[in-house]
Every structure is written in C-alpha cells, then in structure tokens.
Amino acid sequence: METIFRGDLDTRAGRLRAWVDALLIDHGMFRLGWSNFATVVPGRLYRANHPTPGRLARLAHRYGLKTLINLRGQTKNGSDALTREAARRLGLAFVDMPLESRGVPQISRVLRLIEVYRTMAEPALIHCKSGADRAGLAAAVFLLAEGASADRAAAELSLRFGHVRQARTGVLDAFVASYRAAGDKPFLEWLTKDYDEKALGKEFAARRLANFLNDRVLARE
C-alpha cells in the first residue's frame, strides 16, 4: 500500500505527515463529509468507512461503542495509525480482521470473523476504507450468523453504500447468493460443509468497465 507515513505520531512533523498521508494518499479527504455510516443491528453492530479520529469519538459517544473492528488489516499508513491512537484514547477494543473485497470469501476468515462477533464487547463498529464492500460482507456475515435471511444480508451489499456488484466486488454478492440457493440450511452448517470456494471463483465473472470504475476511478481497495 502506498504511504508517506513513517510511523511517527510523537512529533509535530510526524503527526502532520500522518494527516497528509491519511487525507491525500489514502483519499481521506473524500471521507471528511461522508461517513457511509449505517446501523446493522441497533445497539449491537454499526458500519462505516474509515473514520477520522473526530468522527470515531462522536460515534463512540453517541452509540456507546465498545469495539472497533478494522477490516483493512494493518495498513501501517496515516489513517491506520491515527485510528488506532483514537481507539486507545477512547478505550475501545481494537480488532484487526482483514477481509478481501475482490477475492472469493475464504472459509477460514469468515469463521474467524464469526468468532470475533461471538466474543466481542458490544456494540461494535466495523469499517473498511470506503464502507462499501468489506463492510458490507462483514455486516452480511453478522446477520447470517444470527439467523437472518439471505435477502436481508444481501441488502448490506448494495449501491446505497457504493457497492458495485458488476465489478469484481460482485463476488461478495455471489457468496450470499450461493447461501440463498442452499434453502433453509443454517449458515454455519452451509459454510463448513457445503460452501465451495474454488467453484465460486470459477463461476463468477466481472465486467471490465465496472472494474475500471471501481478500481481506477473510485480507487477502492
């Protein structure tokens, strides 16, 4: 990942570099007035794009957040460093739970995410970069693990959040659709016994124009 941040938040110059990196290199400028925030389950789980420290503080106080789940993983850029610092200051449990937005969802990662949900202090906020794809998948997994319908889960992957199903990110929709086709089988049973990662990867095909829009124009991860 491209970054100019050097890991220093203790000096004025280092902190300035972190903010420049977050706002310009990581496209945080576009997130200053757009949080892509939504409620997944009231009082339990919320979703957003990568929050600035100020926005995280406001959300934590308004919704009583206890846990912050980072779906980007350890990017080691300015956004990442500033958010981790803010989470510590606010007393939030911080969980790194990296997901892919364009790859076939992996059984091991989905199971780990479910375990995070099972053991975390609620309520929690999940975030990725834009809040469109990985946040949508993570929200869908939470709902499916709780027994919600595939249709309800699929609503978390929609254009309302900026999710483009015609691009490679549509593989996430295909994942939910595969579960829908299983009928009434419990999600965890389907995931561990019936879900075929390789088969889904071979079946899914994305459109080139949608990929260009998603990857180049919108600069999604």
Token representation of residue 6: 């050097």
Domain presence at residue 21: no
**Greatest CA separation for the chain:** 57
DSSP conformational letter for 32: S
Q: The domain spanning residue 165 has which CATH number? A: 3.90.190.10
Which string of b and e fits 154-187 if b means at least 16 CB within 10 Å? bbbbeeebbbbbebbbbbbbbbbebbeebeeeeb
CA torsion, points 43, 45, 47, 51, in degrees to nearest 10?
A: 70
Q: Mean pLDDT of successive 10-residue segments in the chain (221 residues)?
A: 90 96 94 95 98 98 98 96 98 97 94 98 98 98 97 96 90 95 93 94 62 50 60
The distance from CA 197 to its chain's CA centroid, rounded to whole angstroms, is 20
For residue 206, what pLDDT is reported? 52
Domain presence at residue 28: no
Alpha-carbon distance of 174 to 133, in angstroms, equals 13
Alpha-carbon distance of 139 to 39, in angstroms, equals 10
For residue 110, what pLDDT is reported? 98
For residue 116, what pLDDT is reported? 98
Domain presence at residue 20: no
For residue 220, what pLDDT is reported? 56
For residue 123, what pLDDT is reported? 98
Helices (H) and strands (E) in the chain, counts: 10, 5
Domain presence at residue 79: no
For residue 102, what pLDDT is reported? 86
Domain presence at residue 195: yes
Alpha helices, H only, 21-170: 53-63, 78-90, 107-119, 134-145, 150-154
For residue 143, what pLDDT is reported? 98
Reply yes or no: is the peptide bond before residue 105 cis, omega within 30 of 0: no
Q: Over the Cα atoms of the chain, what is R_g?
A: 17
Q: 52, 77, 132, 26: which is closest to 60 by C-alpha?
A: 52
Domain presence at residue 31: no
Instruction: For residue 65, give its domain range.
Output: 37-74+90-217
Alpha-carbon distance of 169 to 211, in angstroms, equals 8
Domain presence at residue 19: no
| Amino acid identity for residue 107 in this structure | I
For residue 219, what pLDDT is reported? 54
Residues 6+ apart with CB under 8 A from 192: 107, 111
For residue 46, what pLDDT is reported? 98
- pTM for this model (two decimals): 0.90
Token representation of residue 155: 């609503």
Domain presence at residue 107: yes
For residue 210, what pLDDT is reported? 44
Whether 57 contacts 83, CB under 8 Å: no
- Number of domains the chain is built from: 1
Alpha-carbon distance of 145 to 164, in angstroms, equals 24
DSSP conformational letter for 130: S
